[in-house]
Structures are given as C-alpha cells and as structure tokens.
Chains A and B, each alone.
Chain A
Amino acid sequence: MSSEPIIELRHIHYSIALPDGERRAILDDVSLAIEPGTINCIMGTSGSGKTTLLRLMAGLIRPESGEVLIFGRDITALREPELNKIRREMGFVFQYSALFDSLSVGQNIGFALDRQRRPRAEIDSIVANLLGELGLSGLENKRPSELSGGMKKRVAMARALASNPKIVLYDEPDSGLDPVMTRVIDELILQMRDEKKTTNVVVSHNVHSIWRIADRVMMLHEGQMVADGAPREVEKLDVPVLRQFLEGRSDGPILVR
C-alpha cells in the first residue's frame, strides 16, 4: 500500500545544550514518512532520540533544521493557534501517563472535549463509553492517585482517544507494566487501528510487544535511523546495533553507559 504520508519528517536536526556550554546532537538528519492507518514502532536504547521524535511530531519542541509535516503542513513555523488546530486531531499517551492530579478520571478523559465546549451530556457519554471499552467502568470519580500503573496507562489512552484523533502518539505505553497488562495495551492499540483507523506511532523498548503490533519498525541509534521497514524485513537486516538490540546482548557496538 502506498498513500500520502500523514506524518513526514524531513532532514531533522535537533540538539540540546549541555551545562558546560557544549551542544549534544539528539537527532541528526532523521527523515521518515508514516502512512495513515498503520502502527509504526520506533525502538532504540535510552537516549537514542525516540521521545524527542514524538515530541517533535506533537509540536512540543521545534527542530533546529528540517521540516515536520503533519497532514501535509509544516508545523515547525506554525504559531500556537494554528498548531492547536492540528493538535486537536492528535492524541498523545505520555510515558508516565501525565494525568492531571487535581482532576478525577472522568474529568481527565473529558478534558479536551470540555475545552472544546462540547455539551456535558455528550462528554459524559463519550467518557462512559471509553471507560467501558478500556475495562475501567465505574472509575469516573476516582482520582489518578487511587489508580494502579496499568489503570493510569489506560486512562491516559482514553484521554488521548476521547476527541477521536486521527493520529495517536504513544511514548513507551508498556513501561513499568507486567506482561499481562502489556498485552492488554498492545491489543488496545491494534483495536484502535482496526476499528477507529487511527495512525499510531509507538515508541518502545519492548521487542516482543513491537513485533506483536507493528506494521513497520524503525530503530534509532545515537540520533540516526539505522533500520526501517516491515518487521519481517527488519529482523533479517545485518546491522550490528540492531542485531545486538534484538538479541539483548551486552557486547557489541551499543555502549553500556
């Protein structure tokens, strides 16, 4: 299949300032294009630039050079009001859920809808449906502090999906979860792609989980894309860092710091 990419990154450079004044490259000439209705997994070691890539796609940070095209529009030069129009079509599941502590589960899920001034009855109905779909019925009035890690992750997913986004970005959705809950989250991501036709970008370390859900796998290493393709193609690639990562070996080109 080949259609217009819904997300496209062109020659992205991004670096951060270190305390000693030096700059460290996080992404170095990274390009990728993501097709609609697919699950795209980005893997790599800690500090390889995976989360930075997601944050660029959400417009939370801007690259030093290069273009980030969402729905064909370069968001790097957009002002906040224009960027917000695009963000309304996107959902973001944060690594540590990032639920609002001061709001209940129901208020967290309905937050974006409430900001859009949707009718209360409609918000309540969407929240109840999402809680039901994610196995969280009856938790509307709980506070995030009363939930387990797995519940928080599912509430974060519900919040990201509440406004029916076309794109969902997941930052390590399975971090800190047991294998059963990881499987539940994976199945939910597959369900969202199949039923709601969302385009999904999933950042993860979990090779088993990635191979279960991915239509396409990418690997970042030291800010550069070292592998990209369908899971069956990628697992055959003879790239040393990829081989070491997939086999989970401590010896190899990936330096353990």
Chain B
Amino acid sequence: MVKKKGMAPRRSPISPLFGPLSDFFLFFGQLVSLFLEGLWFVVRGRISVRATIRQMGEVGVGSLMVAIITVGFSGAVLALYSSVQLLQFGQAALAGGLVGKSLALEIAPVITGIVVAARSGSAMAAELGSMTVTEQVDALKTMATSPVQYLVVPRILATMIMMPIVASIANVAGLYGASVTANLGGISPTLFWRSFQDIVTIGDQLQGLIKTIPFGLLIALIGCRQGLTTSNGAQGVGRATTSAVVFGSMAIYITDFFISLITQDLTSLRQ
C-alpha cells in the first residue's frame, strides 16, 4: 500500500541491528543474481566476441606493467629474506624452490588479483557507475538491450581470461627479481634455478594460475555490481569505485584462503 508523505516509518525498533546483515545479504544476493544472469547469456552463446576482446585489452594492458613491477619486487624481497636465512642454516640449495613455490602458489596470483581489482575492477565500477547515473544504462534497456549481456558478460569473460595470463607473466618477473637478489645474497643463479626446477612442479604452477580464474570472476562481478547500483551522481561514482577495490580485494583474500584450504593436503602437515 502506498503511504502518503509524512506517514510513520515502517521500520521496527530492532531493524537497525539487522541493517549491516541485510546489506551483506543484499550485496551477496545481487552478485549471485548477476552471475546467474550472465551465465544464462554465456550458455546461450549470447557473447559479443568483439566487446570481450576489447575488454581483454583494457584488463591486460592496464594491469600488466603494474603486476610485473609489484610481483617482480615482491619476489626480489622474498628472495632477499629467505636467502639470508637459508644460508645461515646451510640450505642455500632450497632458495629457488622455496621462492618459486611461494610465487607460483600465492604471491603471483594474489598480488595480480589485487592489482587487477585496483586497476580494472575500479575502472569497471567507474565506467558503469557513470553510465548508470547519466541514464545510459536505462537507454540500453529502452533499446531492448540487456546491460548484463552488453556490459557485464564481456567484462567477466575478459577478466577471467586475462587473469591467468597476467599472473603467469608476473610470476616470471617475480622469479627473475628473486634470482637477482638471491645472487646478491650469495646464491648463484645456477643453484637458484636448479633448486626451482627440482622443487616447483607443473602442478604448483597450474594450481596458482587456476585460482586466478575465480579471482577474475569476483573482481569483474563486484566491479560491475558496484557500477550498476550507483546512485547520487559523481559522489556515488566515487563511492562505487572505492568500494569495488575494497570488496574486490577482500573477496580475493577470502577466496584464496578457502581455495588453499581445499587444495592443500593438511594431513601431511599433521604427520
């Protein structure tokens, strides 16, 4: 029933307690709904290859250099600390393997995820947010075009495709950064790379790269959701952009924890 202006509020006295909880479920529900709607278009083959390739360029070009620099230096710092410790214990032969495994399984996928969330997730939220507040999203609907099909699906697919590519290149940069600092710490490149070959398996590399795919899905979903629910003009666009990075980064760390929990053989640690 429609209420007249000035009528008493509907809220119950305890409703403020449920505010944050209901906001969380609303957010989560909207992400699931966006994912299912997008999946429906993908299953029916309603994919714009041209738009997806354009978005792959946006995600790849925008994030690659930043990912190379951040993962490269992270690898270098990791090698610096671990080389010193390993040399003290006479285990220099393990340096390449230790750093390589850390980079492949954790550092390269997670840091690349954070970089893509900051660079591309925020750009998606800003672009779609701006389109929402200037009624361009409504204009799409009036022309019988689904914003999910036209705007969201290409961004999700592009981010899911580009994440493993960017992460694998960043991983290589991390390894080279690590080999340089390990050499400065007294571990020769030959020893470093032999250790890497002996310890790091193809399975480790694949495991790290595969988990970047759900990261890509979450980054794009969150960026698009924040953009499509933007209100309050320029201030709202700013808020959507910031929240896309914050929620995207949180989603990466939480997902990373659960994927690691599932894939890691914990029983071997207990023995």
Contact = CB atoms under 8 A, between A and B. Distances in A.
B2 A14 contact: yes
Given A25-B4, A94-B135, A100-B136, A87 B9 contact: no
A70 interface: no
Interface stretch (B143-151, B154-162, B202-210): B143-151
B2 A87 contact: no
A58 B146 CA distance: 14
Contact of A23 (B2, B131, B145, B146): B2
Contacts of A80: 146
B34 to A, nearest CB: 14
A159 B144 CA distance: 13
B10 A92 contact: no
Contact of B142 (A22, A28, A87): A87
A28 B2 contact: yes
A96 B143 contact: no
Interface in A86-123: 87-88, 90-92, 94-96, 98-101, 111-112, 115
Highest count of chain A CB atoms <10 Å: which of B11, B15, B130, B135? B135
Interface string B206-233: 0000000000000000000000000000
A146 B5 CA distance: 43
Range for the number of chain B residues in contact with chain A: 20 to 34
Given A13-B2, A64-B2, A115 B135 contact: no
A98 B15 contact: no
B144 A92 contact: no
Interface residues of A, number: 37
A100 B51 CA distance: 15
A98 B11 contact: no
A92 B136 CA distance: 11
A21 B10 contact: yes
A163 B144 CA distance: 11
Interface in B1-46: 1-11, 15
A92 B143 CA distance: 8
A232 to B, nearest CB: 33
B136 A25 contact: no
B10 A22 contact: yes
B141 A60 contact: yes
What DSSP secondary structure best describes chain A's contact surface? Answer: mixed
B139 A100 contact: yes
Interface in A226-243: none
A200 to B, nearest CB: 15
Contacts of A25: 2-5
Interface in A1-30: 13-15, 20-25, 28
Interface in A160-204: 163
A101 B5 contact: no
Given A15-B2, A64-B2, A94 B139 contact: yes
B251 to A, nearest CB: 27
B10 A84 contact: no
A65 interface: yes
Contacts of A59: 141
Contact of A60 (B1, B5, B142): B142
Contacts of B11: 21
Contacts of A55: 138
Given A28-B4, A58-B141, 13 more contacts: A15-B2, A22-B7, A55-B138, A60-B141, A64-B2, A84-B144, A92-B139, A92-B142, A98-B138, A99-B136, A101-B131, A111-B145, A115-B145
15 contacts: A13-B2, A20-B9, A22-B3, A22-B6, A22-B7, A23-B2, A25-B3, A58-B138, A64-B2, A84-B144, A88-B144, A92-B142, A99-B136, A101-B130, A101-B136
